[in-house]
Structure 1
Amino acid sequence: MATEQETDAPVNDARTPSTPRTPRTPGAARAGVVYLVGAGPGDPGLLTVRASELLASAEVVLHDELVHPALLDAVGSDAEVRHVGKRGHDRVAKDAKQAEIDAELVALARAGRSVVRLKGGDPFLFGRGSEEAEALARAGLPFEIVPGVCSPLGAAAYAGISLTHRDLASSVTMVSALSRAGAAYDWSELASVRGTICVLMGMHAIDTVVAGLLGPGRCAPDAPVAVIQWGTRAAQRVVTGTLAEIAGLVRAAGLGSPGLIVVGRVVSLRETLRWFDARPLFGKRVLVTRPKRQAGSTSRLVRLRGGEAVELPTIVIGPSPDPARMAAAAEAVGKYDLVAFTSDNGVDRFFAELGRLGGDARAFRDARVAAIGTGTAAALAARGVRADIVPGAFVGEALAQAILEDPVLAAKREAWRAQEAERVQGGERAQEAERAAPVRVLIPRALLAREVLPERLREAGCEVDVVPVYETFPAPVEQREALLRALEAREIDVVLLTSSSTATSLCDLLGARAVALLAPVLVASIGPVTTASAEKRGLTVGVTATVSTVAGLIEAVERHLAAALPD
């Protein structure tokens, strides 16, 4: 059911091997080349443009364990994606696994595949990117290094710590707590260091790290220290203290790997410069109920505000139940006076059919175009069509009113009425085919939707064709189990309802337990129509957006959470 800004669409998340592809753009991944790509410290928004370009075009992607799952959404649907991460403290097993990765990269390149080796942080900073590059060089195979934002820079910045400062530190030393053979770092190398020290891979032996830093001529016991776990992610946690006490503080807080240890006077800047973990949405687990293809943009907005998006779709979008009628509407679109779109989905499906028939934006000719909101208008603009009518409130009632007030369409209706009146007064009994037609309106929408828009337009004398271009279905049973587990474990803090259909389907999936399971959760609705649908099912809606867009919904949630924060 499409009401406000519903933008759900089907998902095709297949990851299967493919035959070599010819690069379609100059920067696409090339056959037989291995790209050692830095994924950044965690936040998917920190991925470089070059890395995104390669992920979208590579045939094979081999990724580390700490790579954010959202980064894999950028991979082509026909690419082969495999996890090759190594964790734990067994150095022999890790070395053996690395040898397998090196050999696989060589074999894939020799087979003519385009390969992205996606590594956390930067491939050349305390990772094994250089070893992988050496293996490729020995085999005489081409490779490219794509740097990434390294974890010390990213994690420190997200914790509000500037690693250098004109008054506090003029140098940065980065240390790996372990050598290749697993031996501890020789801390005596830091005897003359006076700037900031960043220690990576030291969380499992933090007491040894502290003891090394406290050695002769090194750091003082009262040196400021910050330990940052899961830096740049919504799960980020930061503990600060002195070097002498930090190990105990870390254990008391339960921090573990992956973590970064920062030592130096710059740590004192955190209380002034912290920004990421001071946001109202920081750390909140937000349920995104739309299918994955449409959920990505919503999840990105959640992450930009410091939240953790949990994508568990409640509905699936299916094809038109009447494809012949949809095709006929696409072929005749230029004969309508107005085409009104009530969702992004309607835009996607209608233009897909238009393209299948060999048409594009030019097919609209002189037809006026209406969009229920700014999101739908943006979807039209991306396809070369500017919406003539966009109401101030993104609901069917407001769209109907905006259409009826449109001066161009109003003039057509008045002209038709005047012509009819003249005929009646003149006693004419013209044949139907000879009479001027009223305003003709096409509404491509979901099969099931509120009838307020077509009803009001018909009441005003318009001739309205409602054509279903897609249909919504409940999510599969396995989705219900995942939802139940997440809610029972209290792993969800906020639920975003972006349409009446997501609200209804969520309740249907949860069944009789819906109200009880969602009672501890902040339920947020995109607008009053969606709120009414949720409340009809017994849910308590804590937030209703005044601007019925996804961005407006998330901003409303932020304001609500900010108001609840202590002064």
Structure 2
Amino acid sequence: MRVIVTRPAPQAGKWVNALRAAGLDAVSLPLIEITGPPEPQAVLAVWQRVQAFDALMFVSANAVEQFFALQPAGLDLLQAPTLTSPRCFATGPGTVAALLQAGVPGSRIDAPDHTAHQFDSEALWAVVHAQVQPGWRVLIVRGNSDAENGDEAEPAQGLGRDWLAARLAEKGAVVEFLVAYARRAPLVQASARALLQVASSDGSLWLFSSSEAVNNLRSMAPGLCWHQARAVATHPRIAEAARAAGFAVVCESRPAMADLIASIESLA
């Protein structure tokens, strides 16, 4: 059974390697392309006043990587924080790992426990709501795309981050958004189109960690039928998107690799 990993290229490679190490026939077919911010000057301007925020919420590892890619030299307020430096909020372990890689101390990061059932805005809010105070300034670092989707575990139209912004506002916080990267459907090469055609009905298992990836797949291959295809989705909302696309069997799984492998093997 072939497993098709649809994450953006950098993350897809890591998942493919881990799945192959577990003995699975995994291949990469990125259905989302990540590029830099549409307005780099806006990111640079935020860096100049980053100390004014009480918390920075990153919707994904991509948000972290693209935000820190534009960090001005010598400005290390997040890597060498003071008592007044902002907290860093993350929705899951991938984003936490990116923050640690960027040099942010673990003591400054708030995120759902790695054993949490889901990694999304709701799970994050359960962790941070008690510390948010009236008058707090919170920056949500996100992406921008044709479909306006957020993190891999968020629904279409960014409902997860908008839901979180609403909860923050209810607590009296002032919320700003910053677009730190762009997400878009990739150009499909001939080899990828051939794989799409075959994998729609040959028993391949599609691994989705974003509803945007599902939507991009439908746009890339509007004439294909998915009634013989199977999928593993890393969030209930992503699973709903796969079922709406016509996938015959959709299994929900936590995005932790051990859980993904177990879910894939259950469908073998």
Deviation at residue 396 of structure 1 after TM alignment = 1.5
CA–CA separation in structure 2 for the residues paired with 1:344 and 1:551: 20
After TM superposition, the structure 1 = structure 2 runs for residues 266-277 of structure 1, keeping only pairs within 5 Å, are none
Q: Which amino acid aligns with 2:136?
A: V
After TM superposition, the structure 1 = structure 2 runs for residues 430-445 of structure 1, keeping only pairs within 5 Å, are 438-445=135-142
Q: Which amino acid aligns with 1:525?
A: A
Deviations 1:64-85 (A, max 9, x none): xxxxxxxxxxxxxxxxxxxxxx
In the alignment, what sits opposite 1:299? 16
Contact residue 239 and residue 250 of structure 2 kept, 8 A: no
Contact residue 230 and residue 247 of structure 2 kept, 8 A: no
Q: Does 1:509 align with 2:230?
A: no
Gaps of 5+ in 2: 151-157
In the alignment, what sits opposite 2:185? 474
Deviation at residue 399 of structure 1 after TM alignment = 1.7
Q: Which amino acid aligns with 2:196?
A: L
Contact residue 58 and residue 90 of structure 2 kept, 8 A: yes
CA–CA separation in structure 2 for the residues paired with 1:313 and 1:511: 17
After TM superposition, the structure 1 = structure 2 runs for residues 205-216 of structure 1, keeping only pairs within 5 Å, are none
CA–CA separation in structure 2 for the residues paired with 1:357 and 1:532: 44
Residues 333 and 302 (structure 1 numbering): CA distance in 2 closer, same or farther, change over 3 Å?
Answer: same
Whose radius of gyration is greater, 1 or 2? Answer: 1
Deviation at residue 351 of structure 1 after TM alignment = 0.9
CA–CA separation in structure 1 for the residues paired with 2:196 and 2:6: 13
In the alignment, what sits opposite 1:526? 234
Cα RMSD of the aligned pairs, angstroms, is 2.3
Percent identity over the alignment? 32
CA–CA separation in structure 2 for the residues paired with 1:320 and 1:331: 17
Residues 542 and 440 (structure 1 numbering): CA distance in 2 closer, same or farther, change over 3 Å?
Answer: same
Question: Bigger relative contact order, structure 1 or 2, given CA contacts below 8 A and separation 6+?
Answer: 2
Q: Which amino acid aligns with 2:120?
A: V
After TM superposition, the structure 1 = structure 2 runs for residues 493-508 of structure 1, keeping only pairs within 5 Å, are 493-508=204-219
Q: Pick from 50, 67, 75: which aligns with 1:359?
A: 75
Contact residue 454 and residue 466 of structure 1 kept, 8 A: no
CA–CA separation in structure 2 for the residues paired with 1:555 and 1:350: 34
Deviation at residue 526 of structure 1 after TM alignment = 0.8
After TM superposition, the structure 1 = structure 2 runs for residues 108-119 of structure 1, keeping only pairs within 5 Å, are none
Deviations 1:349-405 (A, max 9, x none): 011111x55434337542111110112111111222125321233112222332212
Q: Does 1:401 align with 2:119?
A: no
In the alignment, what sits opposite 2:38? 321
In the alignment, what sits opposite 1:157? none
In the alignment, what sits opposite 1:446? 143
Contact residue 445 and residue 467 of structure 1 kept, 8 A: yes
Q: Does 1:553 align with 2:260?
A: yes
CA–CA separation in structure 2 for the residues paired with 1:476 and 1:461: 43
Q: Which amino acid aligns with 1:292?
A: A
Deviation at residue 474 of structure 1 after TM alignment = 0.8
Q: Pick from 65, 84, 95: which aligns with 1:376?
A: 95
Deviations 1:301-331 (A, max 9, x none): 1101111121121121122122222111222
Deviation at residue 505 of structure 1 after TM alignment = 1.3
Deviation at residue 489 of structure 1 after TM alignment = 7.4
Contact residue 534 and residue 541 of structure 1 kept, 8 A: no
CA–CA separation in structure 1 for the residues paired with 2:139 and 2:90: 12
In the alignment, what sits opposite 1:311? 28
Deviations 1:517-556 (A, max 9, x none): x3323201011121123233343452101x2335532332
Q: Which amino acid aligns with 1:338?
A: A
Deviation at residue 459 of structure 1 after TM alignment = 2.5
Give 3-state SS (helix, strand or coil) of 1:362's partner: coil
Q: Which amino acid aligns with 1:464?
A: V
Contact residue 525 and residue 541 of structure 1 kept, 8 A: no
CA–CA separation in structure 1 for the residues paired with 2:126 and 2:175: 15
Q: Which amino acid aligns with 2:109?
A: D
CA–CA separation in structure 1 for the residues paired with 2:211 and 2:73: 32
Q: Pick from 111, 115, 121: which aligns with 1:390?
A: 111
After TM superposition, the structure 1 = structure 2 runs for residues 22-41 of structure 1, keeping only pairs within 5 Å, are none
Q: Which amino acid aligns with 1:388?
A: I
Contact residue 498 and residue 550 of structure 1 kept, 8 A: no
Gaps of 5+ in 1: 1-283, 414-437
Give 3-state SS (helix, strand or coil) of 1:472's partner: strand
After TM superposition, the structure 1 = structure 2 runs for residues 22-421 of structure 1, keeping only pairs within 5 Å, are 284-354=1-71, 356-360=72-76, 361-362=78-79, 365=82, 366-385=85-104, 386=106, 388-391=109-112, 392=116, 393-406=118-131, 409=132, 412-413=133-134
- Residues matched between the structures, number: 244
In the alignment, what sits opposite 1:119? none
CA–CA separation in structure 1 for the residues paired with 2:127 and 2:86: 16
TM-score (norm 1): 0.40
Contact residue 9 and residue 33 of structure 2 kept, 8 A: no
In the alignment, what sits opposite 1:135? none
In the alignment, what sits opposite 2:153? none
Moved more, 370-379 or 287-296: 287-296
Residues 329 and 551 (structure 1 numbering): CA distance in 2 closer, same or farther, change over 3 Å?
Answer: farther
CA–CA separation in structure 2 for the residues paired with 1:536 and 1:460: 35
CA–CA separation in structure 2 for the residues paired with 1:381 and 1:324: 25
Give 3-state SS (helix, strand or coil) of 1:300's partner: helix
Give 3-state SS (helix, strand or coil) of 1:511's partner: coil
Contact residue 54 and residue 136 of structure 2 kept, 8 A: yes
Q: Which amino acid aligns with 1:402?
A: V
